Amino acid sequence: MSSIRSYSPQDPTDLVVEAPAFTSADVARSISRGAEAHHAWSRASPHERAGALEKAASALQDATSELSRLIVREVGKPVAEATAEVARGVAILKYFAAQAFEPDGEVLPGNDGRTLLMVRRRSHGLVGLITPWNFPMAIPLWKAAPALAFGNSVILKPAEQASAVALRLADMLQQWLPQHVFQVATGGPEAGTALVDGADCVSFTGSAAVGRQVARSAVDRGIPVQCEMGGQNASIVMPDAAPEPTAASIAAAAMGYAGQKCTATSRVIVVGDRPDFAEAFVAAVRALSVGDPSDPAVEVGPLITETARDRAATAVATASNQGARVLFGGGRMTDRQGHFMTPAVVSINDQSHPIAQEEVFGPVCALLTADDLPQAIDAANAVKYGLAASVYTSDLAVALDAVDGLDVGMVKVNQPTTGVDFYAPFGGNKASSYGPREQGKAAQVFYTSTRTISMSGVRP
């Protein structure tokens, strides 16, 4: 079997792991084993399923330091965020352990007054999970934990750049689960395609282009599918928003973890003439610490690959060539060993500008202006994505108008676009998402299907 290699983005000479590159045949064998394991797991009691998830949560908690260091090393996430991600993974496992005891159906009135009419939920079977590198623990767990809690078996196909974290996570889950209930298929596109072609249900998080292919393939097969894809998230700054704290909040959301979050703020739409805010925002971005992600003081680490860094830097240079004003940053940090760039703030006059329309997935934020709230909402909505947005204001009526007008799946008021509550539904509109929402109570809807059962007693 050939192999894949995952290198540290802050030290490209550091080989974090060499893992098997699963072929279609390898994935097919894993699917067969997982399907067989599902038969017993789906019939396990909720106590057994919840107990396994609780024990896995305790194991993760005990290994917080080790796991956070691995996340920092493999994907370049600043250590404070990496530690928080492990804690979030623990909480997700505990939450869905409790969800295993939730009602799995309902009883309806029978049509003759004697019939017992029930709706029951049951697991799909073998669930395929395709996950990105930027949240190498939280995203696999917020998919796997509910899938397991509701009786499915799971195969995780992680991004190649997050293979080490995925394999370590598997080690910890497999200690408490029956054999083959949770498996990992490392590799590239061939492994992902084979999983979509063979699983009973698929959950995907990644790029919009790949997500559309996954959705089409799953729909052609007639299996449940959800795809969480890109975002081009806007923060609207109203005239009454205090410049310094607002700028600091948005700067962290735009540039933290080098902007490598689907919920990162990509655009700031300033309502009215606010040169004070533009100055405060540039100052807040300038103040962010860029460097070694293992340093607790660092907020902006490297981009995941040299290609990703070059793509983000090129987007800034192209915008400048097309008439945009680069207010700060945008250059490659060639004095460092890893894939670093200076966070960039780019001022543009036209919402149709490519840097406002296309997801850069890097530490780049466009700054625009609007005359009033309706114009700002129109600008925020004038992209193909619809994941998250925020509005900063002290006026409740303005906040409610923004909440009503923004065409996104998640709206924040006086909060950054980043940050997701794992017990609340998560997903976007338009090109950001396809299929049901993730997380919270919505997860049971996706990872199970309903059967309607009509039962009559035998008449004497």
Residues 99, 9 within the same domain: yes
Tell me the C-alpha to C-alpha distance, in Å, between residue 1 and each of 4, 150, 162, 198, 346: 10, 34, 19, 20, 46
What's the pLDDT at 459? 63
For residue 460, pLDDT over 70 is answered with no
- Residues 15-23: what's their mean pLDDT? 98
Are both 121 and 151 inside the same structural domain?
yes
C-beta of residue 240 within 8 angstroms of C-beta of residue 391: no
Query: Mean pLDDT for the chain?
Result: 96
Residue 113: pLDDT band by 50, 70, 90 thresholds? confident
Q: Residue 458: what pLDDT?
A: 64
Band the pLDDT of 335: cuts 50, 70, 90.
Answer: confident
Shared-domain flag, residues 225 and 248: no
The residue annotated as part of the active site, out of 262, 299, 365, 438, is 262
CATH number at residue 307: 3.40.309.10
For residue 111, what pLDDT band results from cuts at 50, 70 and 90?
confident
Q: What is the pLDDT of residues 209-256, one digit of tens each?
A: 999 999 999 999 999 999 999 999 999 999 999 999 999 999 999 999
Query: Which three-class secondary structure state does DSSP give residue 345?
Result: strand
Q: How many CA atoms lie within 13 A of 237 on its CB side?
A: 29
Q: What is the DSSP string of 183-236?
A: EE---SHHHHHHHHHH-SEEEEES-HHHHHHHHHHHHHHT--EEEE----EEEE
Active site residue 228: yes
On whether residue 460 sits in a domain, the answer given is no
Angle at which helix 64-75 crosses helix 79-99, to 10 degrees, equals 120
> What's the pLDDT band for 279 if we cut at 50, 70, 90?
very high
pLDDT digits (tens, 9 = 90+) for 174-199: 999 999 999 999 999 999 999 999 99
List the CATH number of the domain containing 28: 3.40.605.10
User: How confident is the model over 88-97, as pLDDT tens digits?
Assistant: 999 999 999 9
Q: Could you tell me if residue 419 is inside a domain?
A: no
Residue type, 10: Q
Phi then psi dihedrals of residue 429, to 5 deg = -110, 175
- State yes or no: pLDDT of 287 exceeds 70: yes
The structure's pTM equals 0.96
Percentage of residues of the chain with pLDDT beyond 70 = 99
Confidence (pLDDT) at 446: 97
Task: State the pLDDT confidence band at 336, using cuts at 50, 70 and 90.
Answer: confident
Q: Which residues are within 8 A (CB) of 261 and not within 5 positions of it... i.e. 6 or more apart?
A: 134, 135, 418
One of 228, 299, 359, 438 is an active-site residue; which one?
228
- And the tokens for 58? 């305790």
Mark whether 355 and 439 lie in a shared domain: no
Residues 184 and 246 in one domain: no
Mean pLDDT of the 271-282 span:
95
Q: What H or E segment, with its residue span, contains residue 99? A: helix 79-99
Full residue range of the structural domain in which residue 253 is found: 233-413
pLDDT above 80 (res 158): yes
- For residue 71, pLDDT beyond 70: yes
Q: Give the count of alpha carbons within 13 A of 436, CB side only.
A: 20
Is the residue at 420 inside a domain? no
262 is catalytic: yes
Say whether pLDDT at 347 is over 80: yes
242 and 185, same structural domain? Answer: no
User: Is residue 239 domain-shared with residue 217, that is, in the same domain?
Assistant: no
Same domain as 242, residue 224: no
Give the relative orientation of helices 79-99 and 138-149 as an angle to the nearest 10 degrees: 10
Q: Which segment of 53-57, 300-304, 419-423 scores lowest on mean pLDDT?
A: 419-423
Indicate the number of domains in the chain.
2
Give the bridge partners for 451, in sequence order. Answer: 120
Same domain, 215 and 286: no
What is the structure's pLDDT at 330?
96
Same domain as 116, residue 23: yes
Whether residues 244 and 341 fall in one domain: yes
pLDDT score recorded for residue 112: 86
Determine the pLDDT at residue 173: 98
pLDDT(412) > 70: yes
Q: How many CA atoms lie within 13 A of 232 on its CB side?
A: 22
pLDDT at 135 over 70: yes
> How far is the C-alpha of 268 from the C-alpha of 216, rounded, in Å?
33
